[in-house]
Amino acid sequence: MTNKAILQLKDIFLRFTGEIHEVKVLNGINLDIFKGSSVAILGPSGSGKSSLLSIVTGLEKQTSGTVSVGGHILDHMNEDQLALFRRDNIGIVLQSFHLIPTMTALENVAVPLELAGQKDALKKAEEALNHVGLSYRLTHFPSQLSGGEQQRVAIARAMAPNPKIIFADEPTGNLDGKTGHKIIELIFDLQNKFNTTLILITHDPEVAKKCDRILYIQDGLIKESKESKKIKAAV
Ligand SMILES: Nc1ncnc2c1ncn2[C@@H]1O[C@H](COP(=O)(O)OP(=O)(O)O)[C@@H](O)[C@H]1O
Ligand SMILES: [Mg+2]
């Protein structure tokens, strides 16, 4: 059995041309992530964690290098192709919840399912909200929910279409410690249950230790922690 990467980065550079200096954010990143694994990305503020996430989710184009996610090479896709790629392959959870304020929890979770043309979108959305422990909040609007509940809705929305990979960028950044802890537990429970690949940006080394691998971004490069476990690729 050969190892198969669900996400592969080859020589990724990201540079911004400023008025005075060129800003070098990523300086030649090479990375293979295997299906079903969990990977934490740590690094100081401004080290390029979110930029890397934007590149692998097709929200930003790298300056050079090749990005392959779930068998799709993103490098030359246009915006429409990237939107379809995101819809069909990945889920994203961010620090701020980005729920649609005029829609209920149920409707928010149903949006990506409806966009994907799924007939029983509302039923699947309800199941996803059950999985995050919010079956009693289906008809609440985001403003009627606590921060932790809003993040649960955002997680349900990301997971409902059964994505191959979940990307989470500091998902507890807007939550208090106890609520954040519960959200992290939930993310790992769901990852286990659905065998999703998880890429989790965090500043918390204890959270990172829950992952199979721990990566650091430093000087625009990725370094693997000695604490990373040996990964058996699930092909
Ligand atoms: N559009 C941009 N133009 C210039 N610099 C940028 C742009 N976007 C991000 N950066 C810079 O890239 C660096 C990495 O940012 P970011 O990826 O958000 O870091 P992190 O998520 O690790 O805190 C920062 O120095 C930031 O200022
Ligand atoms: Mg960031």
What's the pTM value of the predicted model, to 2 decimals? 0.93
Determine the atom of ligand 1 nearest the C-alpha atom of 169.
Answer: 21
Say how many Å lie between the CA of residue 49 and the centre of ligand 1.
8
Question: From atom 4 of ligand 1, which residue's Cα is the shortest distance away?
Answer: 16
Segment (H or E) for 197: strand 197-201
> Hunting for tokens 């989710």 — which residue is that?
57
Cβ(53)–Cβ(217) below 8 Å? no
**Domains of the chain, each with CATH number or no CATH:** 37-59+86-224 (3.40.50.300)
pLDDT tens digit at each of 235 positions of the chain: 345 799 999 999 999 998 888 999 999 999 999 999 999 999 999 999 999 999 999 999 999 999 999 999 999 999 999 999 999 999 999 999 999 999 999 999 999 999 999 999 999 999 999 999 999 999 999 999 999 999 999 999 999 999 999 999 999 999 999 999 999 999 999 999 999 999 999 999 999 999 999 999 999 999 999 888 765 444 3
In 3D, which of 36, 35, 8, 50 has the Cα closest to residue 217? 50
51 lines ligand 1 (CB under 6 A): yes
